[in-house]
Amino acid sequence: MARRLARMSAYTDEELMAVTMARLLADSQHVAVGALSPLPATAALLARARRPGLRVTILGSRHHNPFTDGGRELFDCAAQGRIDTFFLSGAQIDGQANINLVGTGDYAKPTKRFPGSFGSAYLYSLVKTVILFKPEHTPRVLVPRVEFVSAAGVSPPHEYRPGGPRHLVTGRALFDFAQGRFTLKSVHPGQTVEDIVRETGFDFDRGAVGATPPPSGDELALLRGVVRREVADTYPRFAAKAFGV
Amino acid sequence: MSTIVQTLTEFVADIVDDSRVAIPPDYSGVAMAATRALILRGARGLRLVAVPQAGFQADILIGAGCVASIETAGINLGEYGLAPRYTDAIQRGELRVIDATCPAVHAGLQAAEKGIPFMPLRGILGSDLLRVRPDWRVIDNPYGDHDPIVLIPAIRPDIALFHAACADRDGNVWVGVRRELMTMAHAAARSFVTVESVSDRNLLEDPALAAGTIPGLYIDRVCVAPGGMRPLPFGDDAGDAAALSTYARGAASPEGYAQWLAGWLA
């Protein structure tokens, strides 16, 4: 993402998304971050920098991974309810919060093939609070209906499902998700509600839409100091370019 | 019976064509030197099982035409982006992908190590993975009341292939905290391991090491290959970022991949 230099803002797009995600972690005791998730790692480490008791587990990290029983332990932990918050994304996300990480077109001969579902099909149901994140906010990725459901946003009442999606943070806005519908909560600096309607391919509800607060001086200082150093342990390339330093 | 072989050529000779081969993720001890030897041998028809996701190794093997299918929860080159040879092979219809989700791969291997036919697993309900994986069944929990639950069949690879820090003369292999390697070794019919070094001391005699050691009864071939996971990171070795970046750039096109491969094999 380009930095917001055109508007002379004092922070990067990544920093704004990370602080917006970090503010959603206030009720969590244990936040876990999966593979290929530098933005969630940044958000979780920022939340912990402000609240040192928060337990943060980052897959692929040597210093923020407490597990000693192999790759399965994160998933076993999740099924037991020992993880409060997890982050997921999708190449496509639809208005029912279904996510697609597999592909478009015919499954057997896809027009576009994405990397795969990873742990989403499982964790989306079992972790109490799942925060969706997607820097790109266009009708191309926020679609009326995903072409492959890697993980379903909602389940029939009789299916065992202690968790699910609660929020969606994009490069333009913050949504909440409940009762099978997204509700626009706040728009990021420089965006209008009309922009969000135009750039979102699915229908959503609107209540009192606020403005996403920009990163505070304290948040930026933590992000560019201790958080950036900790993120570099797992995501050196991201750490080198995402922060306004 | 574990055998310490002297060369990687001997080591890969018994990884025959069409074998179902379990491989670890990029951070967990990938046998890259052995992968190179497999390509030099001209391996064909390998059926990879990624535990639970794949990266550089699988992309390289796919590009070299060694792979018939891959069961995986996902594949990418981490911070270096999409796996280009994989994407290309799928779109040309040359690779069968068996889509999974991470805990299902772990559960299938756990069923195999227990010698049972399947493992029940929470979640997954509502996912289209159930549509494309007819071998994953949904039953009503016999201990519950109208409680659907997914069953994952046992995954029993022919061979588990990985790199580890250390073996001993009895074929015991120390993997430390990387216990998915232990699950792989338990589940696979045979395990082939490249190591940094072979210790003259029995690893099981040191209580600090024993808990992280795979007993030799699961290990069939050991070959000393110092740096055998490079350019991937492993343990204290941060990996070779420049080499990984060079691969990701080159493999973006078939010609670039061919050039990269020729250099790697040279």
Residues 108-167 of A with CB under 8 A from B: 109-110, 113, 115-126, 148-152, 154-155, 158-161
- CA-closest candidate to residue B178, choices A71, A237, A47, A32: A71
- CA-closest candidate to residue B260, choices B143, B128, B141, B85: B85
Residue numbers of chain B with a pLDDT score lower than 50: none
What architecture is the A11-239 domain classified under in CATH? 3-Layer(aba) Sandwich (3.40)
Sign, CA torsion B83/B84/B90/B94: negative
In the structure encoding, which two tokens stand for residue B241, read together?
């970022």
Q: How far is B9 from chain A (nearest CA, A)?
A: 30
Amino acid A7: pLDDT: 46
A227: pLDDT confidence band, cut at 50, 70 and 90? very high
Following CA atoms A14, B74, B105, B150 in sequence, which dihedral angle do they give, to the nearest 10 degrees? 80
Q: How far is A165 from chain B (nearest CA, A)?
A: 14
Q: From CA A145, how far away is CA A147, in angstroms rounded?
A: 6
A9: pLDDT confidence band, cut at 50, 70 and 90? low
In the structure encoding, which two tokens stand for residue A13, read together?
């797009």
- Nearest chain B Cα to A235, which residue? B79
Q: Are A123 and A78 in contact (CB under 8 A)?
A: yes
CA atoms within 13 A on the CB side of B23: 33
Per CB-CB distance under 8 Å, the chain B contacts of A83 are none
Q: From CA A138, how far away is CA A172, in angstroms rounded?
A: 9
- What whole-number percentage of chain A has pLDDT above 90? 89
Q: From CA B114, how far away is CA B106, in angstroms rounded?
A: 12
Q: Using the beta-carbon criterion (under 8 Å), do A116 and B79 form an inter-chain contact?
A: no
Q: From CA A86, how far away is CA A34, in angstroms rounded?
A: 8
DSSP string, B191-231: EEEEEEEEESS-GGGSHHHHTTEE-GGG--EEEE-TTTTTT
Q: From CA A173, how far away is CA A211, in angstroms rounded?
A: 9
pLDDT at A161 over 70: yes
Q: How far is A99 from chain B (nearest CA, A)?
A: 9
Count CB atoms within 10 A of the CB of residue B226: 10
- Stretch (H or E) spanning A210: strand A205-211
Amino acid B138: pLDDT: 98
Count CB atoms within 10 A of the CB of residue B148: 14
Q: Using the beta-carbon criterion (under 8 Å), do A68 and B177 form an inter-chain contact?
A: yes
Of B51, B90, B99, the CB nearest to A71: B51
pLDDT digits 0-9 by tens, B186-223: 999 999 999 999 999 999 999 999 999 999 999 999 99
Ordered by start, the domain boundaries in chain A are 11-239
Q: A125 φ, ψ to 5°?
A: -90, -25
Residues 213-252 of B with CB under 8 A from A: 241
**Residues contacting residue A44 through CB under 8 Å, at least 6 positions apart:** A22, A25, A31, A33, A54, A56, A58
Q: How many CB pairs under 8 A join A and B?
A: 137
Of A69, A119, A158, the CB nearest to B73: A119
Q: B69 φ, ψ to 5°?
A: -150, 160
Q: How far is A41 from chain B (nearest CA, A)?
A: 14
pLDDT digits 0-9 by tens, A34-54: 988 999 999 999 999 999 999
- Nearest chain A Cα to B129, which residue? A150
Residue ranges of domains in chain B, CATH in brackets: 3-107+155-265 (3.40.1080.10), 118-153 (no CATH)
CA angle B18, B218, B43 (to 5 degrees): 20
Q: Are B70 and B46 in contact (CB under 8 A)?
A: no
DSSP letter at B108 equals: H
**Total count of residues recorded for chain B:** 266
Residues 99-128 of B with CB under 8 A from A: 99-104, 106-107, 110, 121-128
Amino acid A233: pLDDT: 87
Count CB atoms within 10 A of the CB of residue A82: 16
pLDDT digits 0-9 by tens, A166-215: 999 999 999 999 999 999 999 999 999 999 999 999 999 998 999 999 99
Following CA atoms A111, A113, A119, A121 in sequence, which dihedral angle do they give, to the nearest 10 degrees? 10
In the structure encoding, which two tokens stand for residue B145, read together?
């009341």
Of B53, B148, B182, the CB nearest to A70: B182
Distance, first Cα to last Cα, chain A: 15
- Nearest chain B Cα to A116, which residue? B74
A122: pLDDT confidence band, cut at 50, 70 and 90? very high
- Nearest chain B Cα to A161, which residue? B123
Best of B56, B82, B101, B177 to disrupt the A interface by mutation (most A CBs within 10 Å)? B101
pLDDT digits 0-9 by tens, A59-82: 888 788 889 999 999 999 999 999
Q: How far is B16 from chain A (nearest CA, A)?
A: 28
Residues 135-154 of B with CB under 8 A from A: 146-149
| Helices and strands (DSSP H and E) totals, chain A | 8, 13
Distance of CA B113 to the CA centre of its chain: 16
Q: Are A240 and A47 in contact (CB under 8 A)?
A: no
Amino acid B1: pLDDT: 63
Asked if omega into A52 is within 30° of 0 (cis), the reply is: no
Amino acid A239: pLDDT: 96
DSSP letter at B64 equals: T
Q: A134 φ, ψ to 5°?
A: -160, 105
> Tokens 């929470």 — which residue?
B122
DSSP letter at B54 equals: B
Best of A62, A64, A118 to disrupt the B interface by mutation (most B CBs within 10 Å)? A118
Distance of CA B25 to the CA centre of its chain: 6
